[in-house]
Structure 1
Amino acid sequence: MKLSSSSFFAPLSRICAIICLVFFLLCSFSVFGYARNLSPVDGFEKYIEEAKKHLLAKEPAATLAALRKATAEAWRRFPFTAVNVHLVAAQPAGYGRFIPRVDNVFRPGEPLILYLEPVGFVVKEDKNTGKYRYRLVADFNMVDAWGRVVSGRRTVGRFEGETAQFPDRYPLTFTYSLSGLPPGEYKVETIIRDLLGKKSHTVVTPIRVEGP
């Protein structure tokens, strides 16, 4: 059978065209996905650059405003969790103002005070007022050494409101009573629920209750 050059190159040209089309589509999807994934980071870097310019210009108010915007951009990428979790010796006086407890051993009737800072919860900004809104609630379980829930309560705390500044420094304090617990090992479960983000995070705090 005799093949002409045109009959040979025609299928080849179609194959090349298909390969080029597939390559173009793959590149388009990759670039689109890459840009979509990086857009929050780009916003973060934009505000950081703004902060640098204002800092060089010795404009403290504008510098801090840009840094707060950068924090809000980074916040959206955080997982919902808690940082700076501590058993404390007394009621905290404010953000970061606490005295850590030296151990996790308690006597019956002694209160357990837990300090933590939630991060990554959803914050809604009202474009009209410029205020930020958040809604958190917390539940509590006391679990013994065998994994049994010996006490607990739903909605031990409700934390919601509006603020003019982005609420990235929002400490929570929980005070639990250990009255009636027999001596032994326990785990305190503090479940924080983000009502706007429809997510939850559980902070597990091991403790030991000693006899009188």
Structure 2
Amino acid sequence: MKKTLRLWGVILLVTAFLAPTVLWASGLTPLLNKAESQYTKGDVLGAADALRQALVVVYNKSKLKVNRAVLVKGKPAGFGMIQPKGNDKFKANETIIIYVEPVGYHFAKKGNAYNFGVSADFSVTDTSGNILGGKKGFGNWEYTTQGRPLFDFFMTLTYNFTGIKPGKYFVLTTLNDKHGGGSVTIKTPIEIVK
């Protein structure tokens, strides 16, 4: 009984933060029941697979969101393996790196393959909201995995602004789901110092 309660607790935590309104939506309940059944039988791999399929349902009914966006000191070694910068101050011409964990992107399934993709646009504004520059389609990420969908996905956004004067700015990065999950904008404050 305790194992079953823990499993349901994990299921609720995993899905509730993304889209509480679709928790019992069509297609989700049978997968959660299957996960519980597999887990009760001791089939951990089967339970994990059913939970992954349930997350695909949740992601495909969700809108694109950002779980985490952090200024970092250098390129991450892997998912969640970051060194936060600790502040938003940069010298002129210093590289700005933002680590981003998008969630809720939609999957396109073909046979045994899962495809998802995100593109990115950006603009730089002053603190009054005046757009100083930017670019549409500056980044493009597209992945196809075989057999299992990928949820531990991160992006490394690297910016090099030359000629920007000292002052406070915002980097607005808009992520666009290639399979219909909408868009989300990340507003990152930065300060250029001498």
TM-score range, shorter chain: 0.7 to 0.9
- Of 160, 172, 175, 2:142 maps to 160
Deviations 1:184-207, CA, capped at 9 Å, x for gaps: 010001111123217221111011
Q: In the TM superposition, what is the alpha-carbon distance from 1:143 to its structure 2 partner?
A: 0.8
| CA positional deviation for 1:111 | 0.9
Aligned partner of 1:62 in structure 2 is: 46
Letter in 1 for 2:159: Y
**1:150–1:99 distance in 2 versus 1, CA, 3 Å:** same
Cα shift at 1:46: 2.0
Shift of 1:167: 2.5
Instruction: Give structure 1 regions of 4+ aligned residues with deviation exceeding 3 angstroms.
Output: 37-40
Larger relative strand fraction: 2
Contact 1:40 1:73 in 2 (8 A): no
Task: Decide which of 126, 141, 150 is 1:144's aligned counterpart.
Answer: 126
Distance 1:134 1:38, change over 3 A: closer
How far 1:39 moved relative to its partner? 9.0
Seen in structure 2, the aligned counterparts of structure 1 residues 202 and 57 have a Cα distance that, compared at 3 Å, is: same
Pair 1:82-2:66 in alignment: yes
The match for 1:183 is 166
Equivalent of residue 196 in structure 1, options 170, 176, 179: 179
Match of 1:122 among 106, 110, 115: 106
- Of Structure 1 and Structure 2, the greater helix share is in 1
Deviates more, 1:191-200 or 1:112-121: 191-200
TM-score by length of 2: 0.81
Cα distance in 2, alignment partners of residues 189 and 207 from structure 1: 11
Whole-angstrom distance in 1 between the partners of 2:122 and 2:23? 38
- Rate the CA distance shift 1:83–1:39 in 2: closer, same or farther, 3 A: closer
Q: How many residues align?
A: 173
1:169 to 144, 147, 152: 152
| In 2, Cα distance between equivalents of 1:38 and 1:204 | 28
Q: Structure 1 unaligned runs (5+)?
A: 1-36
Q: Distance in 2 between matches of 1:38 and 1:208?
A: 40
Question: Counterpart in 2 of 1:97?
Answer: 81
Larger radius of gyration: 1
Selected match of 1:110 from 60, 79, 94 = 94
- TM-score, length-normalised on structure 1? 0.75
Q: Which residue in 2 is equivalent to 1:209?
A: 192
| Unmatched runs of 5 consecutive residues or more in structure 2 | 1-20
Percent sequence identity over aligned pairs: 27
Counterpart AA for 2:62: F
